[in-house]
Amino acid sequence: MDKFTTLTGIAAPLPLRNIDTDMIIPKQFLKTIRRTGLGKSLFFEMRYDQSGKEVADFVLNQPAYRKAQILVTGENFGCGSSREHAPWALLDFGIRCVIAPDFADIFYNNCFQNGILPIKLPQAEVAKLLDDASRGANATLTIDLENQEIRGPDGGVIKFEIDPFRKHCLLNGLDNIGLTLEKTPSITAYENRMKSEHPWL
């Protein structure tokens, strides 16, 4: 998993509430177990019409936001079914940070396991960032995880809270497998001791 330290990128505004995981990545794209290739289908039913043509006024189809790395959105983001394909699709598109008043629990947890930083902020601060994000190509935010700060295009700073353990994991690029591998010396020592003490196992 890639480390998340400081991210400076375009923020796309998506001021909708209750965006569920089926909206993020519809069910017909869940056949794969690969984490790559899903970005083109992110928000599929909002990004494309029935003929497969791009919907011009959808935010991620607009030239200024095609390379957005930050998504500013409404409350209860990621609700619905617990598909890990949702953060996979966001990450494959290039989104590394989602900012919202709150998130569905399973989606929130899955973000951390995939190197995406979900930031919870009060509605008033999200509204300010949505306004910043509406500036198109000038909608650049800097997310500083170490200092837990969001710096806006006008120099304003918003502080955010994050669980210290999750912060450690993101800063060091550690998912559950990475955390286990950190214990490799201890695991190896235990296995060698067991072989020595219980050779019949």
Inside any domain, residue 189? no
Inside any domain, residue 198? no
CA–CA–CA angle 61, 65, 67 (5° rounding)? 105
Inside any domain, residue 140? yes
Q: Quick one: pLDDT at residue 201?
A: 67
Given a cut of 70, whether residue 137 has pLDDT beyond it is: yes
Number of domains in the chain: 1
Inside any domain, residue 70? yes
Inside any domain, residue 44? yes
Range of the domain at 141: 6-173
Question: What digits encode the pLDDT tens for the residues 67-80?
Answer: 999 999 999 999 99
Inside any domain, residue 138? yes
* Cα–Cα distances in angstroms (integers) from residue 200 to residues 188, 189, 193, 195, 197, in the given order: 18, 18, 13, 8, 9
Task: Compute the mean pLDDT over every residue in the chain, rounded to the nearest whole number.
Answer: 92
**CATH (domain of 125):** 3.20.19.10
Q: Quick one: pLDDT at residue 171?
A: 97
Residue 39: exposure state from Cβ atoms within 10 A (0-12, 13-18, ≥19): middle
Question: What digits encode the pLDDT tens for the residues 167-181?
Answer: 999 999 997 776 666
Question: Which range, of 22-36, 55-69, 153-167, averages the lowest pLDDT?
Answer: 22-36
Give the number of C-alpha atoms closer than 13 A to the C-alpha of residue 27, restricted to the C-beta side.
3
pLDDT over 90, % of the chain = 77
Taking the C-alpha atoms of residue 145 and residue 133, their distance in angstroms, rounded to an integer, is 19
Q: Quick one: pLDDT at residue 150?
A: 98
Q: Quick one: pLDDT at residue 39?
A: 96
Inside any domain, residue 158? yes
Given a cut of 70, whether residue 99 has pLDDT beyond it is: yes
Who contacts 75 (Cβ-Cβ below 8 Å, separation ≥6)?
A: 17, 18, 100, 101, 102, 123
Q: With cut-offs at 50, 70 and 90, classify the pLDDT of residue 162.
A: very high
Inside any domain, residue 186? no
